Amino acid sequence: MALVWKIDEVVNEIALWPVKKFYPTLIAKRTGLPIDTVFTRLLELTKDHKLCVKWELRCPGDNCARTLLVLDEKAVKLRDVFCQYCGHDFCEGDDGDVYDYIYPAFEVCKDYKEYLRQLDLQTKKKQPPMKGKKHLN
């Protein structure tokens, strides 16, 4: 379990950053854990309502990789998608490879973010800055 808690720690840290979303690769990099382990844990955190996940459909066109769609569910009909930037057209045959183009992006839920923020403020209040103490001696 301990290794998995490392993921939670990094998530709590990121929650205080001014970022809207993050990818499992970032957590994997910071924890040094395999991406599969990270991904599984992050999905568990979505069940806890700490995180929510969105699926980004990225264009597989050469040097394109733009996000074409952001989905709440993984289900999508690729044949309806067309990239207006590079002209890549998904055909029906692409349906089977949908997971190759879909990337999970995680967001920290508003309530959980707020909870962590309050917690952070309280911790800072309890530990007054050192320079204040110098004057007491």
Strand segments, DSSP code E, in the chain are: 51-58, 67-71, 102-108
Member of 88, 102, 103, 113 binding Zn ion (CB under 5 A): 88
Segment 51-70, which members bind Zn ion (CB under 5 A)? Answer: 59, 61, 64
Give yes or no for residue 113 binding Zn ion (CB under 5 A): no
Among 3, 19, 86, 121, contact with Zn ion (rule: CB under 5 A): 86
Contact between 117 and 16 under an 8 Å Cβ cutoff? The reply is yes
Instruction: Quote the tokens at residue 111.
Output: 């309530």
Pick between residue 81 and residue 83 the one whose CB is nearest to Zn ion.
Answer: 83
How buried is residue 123: exposed, middle or buried, by Cβ count under 10 Å (0-12/13-18/19+)? exposed
Please identify which residue in 3, 85, 97, 117 interacts with Zn ion, judged by CB under 5 A.
85
* Cα separation, 93 vs 44, whole angstroms: 32
89 is a contact residue toward Zn ion (CB under 5 A): no
What residues line the site for Zn ion (CB under 5 A)?
59, 61, 64, 83, 85-86, 88
